[in-house]
Amino acid sequence: MTRPLRTLYVALFIGVLGLLFAWSMRSVLSYQLPKQFSIIDGDLAKTFESHYDEHFPIKTLGTSLWAGLDYLLFNEGRPGVEIGEQGWLYSSEEFKAEVDGAQQVRDNLALIKGVRDELAQRDVLLLLAIVPSKSRLYPEFVGDNLTSSLRQGLYQHFLNEVRAADIAAPDLLSTLQAGKASGAMFLRTDTHWTPAGADLVAQQLSSTLKSAISLSGEPQVFVTQASSAKPYPGDLTRLLPLEPLFGHLLPPPDQLRHHTTLAAEQASGADALFSDSEMPVALVGTSYSANPAWNFAGALRQHLQRDLSNHAEDGQGPLVPMLKYLQSDELQDAPPQLVIWEFPERYLPMSNDLSAFDAQWLSTLKHPSSNRRLALSDRR
């Protein structure tokens, strides 16, 4: 190697190191001290190390390069996302086969019936809101992704089973299918529904209830306000780590308007006269109900004309929040008239970590005694 080439090689090597050092300093400068930390036991060093490792340039570049190759060559992302057509992304949970899925369906249906019985003991009505899978509502963009045989007829099977068990459950698939003509019911790059889809479901649930029962308390006026639309990269894009090399390949972000629902008095700036009003409705469910971005709880308040307590949780599935609610002081001390349980269909064949709950209690929920069943049937 001639001297000029050696000089060029060394210069390039030093240049690359310099660029990587400068880039790595971005992760150093972006580090924020945790609210609580200890210097003595090394907590501060551990949090810094974890932050730096997560943002290490070579790791970021390697991840982006590998993700780009998967995306370009195989039309694949990280485990958890299925890539459809025209920028549509789907959760893998909607397609994959589950281990012992058929048995899990039976077990979860038994728990749902047990929840119905627990609520009935307190004269609380259960309304089940089965959220159809995004792939079922938008099959035209699924592409060549195949659904497991168990999941193909899952929604209708779910609906038939709970209705046969005397659990109120409107057909929300038909409702959302009809709504597609007026706008997007689900986000293109996210697992969840849009505020418009959530609002349409809230309207359907309200209509179902008004024809069946009369909610206690005085009707209350709620007003929903919407902000201007802003780009919203959905949760499924996190499973396509194409930045920084292939960020241009990502599907364009959704446009999302943030909706806020307030009592009319609050919306007008007046004192909240109804802050201590009766809440005849409780909402339990998943991130479809917990995340304020979709405003499902707000839409229910507006269409039911009643305030409600929201016990939905992110990242727990539909069963864990409901089991927590059954054991809550609120249900024991001030049971509502109605519980709306939002339950995405894709969770029905999935197993759940219920280790936090007493095994004997869960068994009793699934297999109530004949005397208890007779007493509950007499109540109904």
- Catalogue the active-site residues: 190, 192, 287
Distance CA 358, CA 368 (A): 15
- Helix, strand, coil percentages, rounded to 5, for the chain: 50, 10, 40
Residues in contact with 315: Cβ distance below 8 Å, sequence separation at least 6, in sequence order:
287
Least Cα distance to 121 among 380, 339, 311 occurs for 380
Residues in contact with 40: Cβ distance below 8 Å, sequence separation at least 6, in sequence order:
none
Distance CA 166, CA 169 (A): 9
Distance CA 311, CA 279 (A): 13
Give 148-151's long-range contacts (Cβ < 8 A, gap of 24+): 148/95, 148/96, 148/97, 148/98, 148/101, 149/97, 150/97, 150/98, 150/101, 150/102, 150/105, 150/349, 151/94, 151/95, 151/97, 151/346, 151/349
364 exposed, middle or buried (CB, 10 Å; 0-12, 13-18, 19+)? middle
* Three-class HEC string of 187-250: CCCCCCECHHHHHHHHHHHHHHHHCCCCCCCCCCCEEEEECCCEEECCHHHHHCCCCCCCHHHC
Please name the helix (run of DSSP H) or strand (run of DSSP E) that holds residue 259, with its range, or none: strand 259-263
Distance CA 203, CA 209 (A): 10
Distance CA 154, CA 26 (A): 48
Partners of 89 in the beta sheet?
Answer: 83
Q: How far is CA 220 from CA 17, 201, 309, 357, in A?
A: 65, 20, 15, 37
Please name the helix (run of DSSP H) or strand (run of DSSP E) that holds residue 91, with its range, or none: strand 89-91
